[in-house]
Amino acid sequence: MAWYFYAHSDNYDAEIFDTPVDRILKLHPTGLQLSEIAVGMQLFWDTPLGFIIPALNDPLKLAHHIGMFLTASQSAGSFGRSIGSYHALFYMGVIEISTLPLVFVDLFHPKHKPWFQYFKGNDSPSFLQPFNEVCRIAFALSFLVVRGILFPYEVFTRWVPDILHVASLSPEERDGAALPSLYLVLSTSVLFSLLQLHWAVLIAKQLLKKFVGGEKKKV
């Protein structure tokens, strides 16, 4: 969160990245580093494991990993001109806040049978299940706020307008940013927004079921 609010405050960064051209074409060191980390994670960890481990072999998530690699590689400048390293502060940094509680929750998901059996067994610490429940709620709420609200808001009010502005410029003004690259990240960002909204709706339904409809069904 510090990276995000720092980049949006009235300081040195805000003076440099105050136009669409600045935000898309100028390099932000922290955003560039976050993008490089994301490229490595998708290339050497998330995507390969998604194909290798049956429990992680979800077509939608695999598509997300591949899309993330393509988008982050553009921001990192892996295949040419870096595009949108400033925006990476949000999309590669702030957005991962909801992932922190998910890491713990996902570890004890039924799809990971050994961990799930340990979690449900008598030998597990007494605090484990209450802590897991807290993490589940923290994940759901943070996902709804960060990915269900802030993500599409940032995409459609800042990212898309900035990309379209730069795409309308002459090749010289774009400073080496290719139109296919610009339209690629434009397309993936819109698709990612729809995907985040899809997951947010599923999570919202689970929360409603838990806190509103759960007791009624038991009766």
pLDDT band for 8, please (50, 70, 90 cuts).
very low
Q: What percent of the chain has pLDDT over 70?
A: 90
Find all residues with CB under 8 Å of 55, minimum gap 6, and list them.
Answer: 111, 112
Task: Encode pLDDT of 93-140 as tens digits.
Answer: 999 899 889 988 888 888 888 888 888 888 888 888 899 899 999 999
Separation CA 64–CA 159 (nearest Å) = 19
Query: pLDDT tens digits for 24-52?
Result: 999 999 999 999 999 999 999 999 999 99
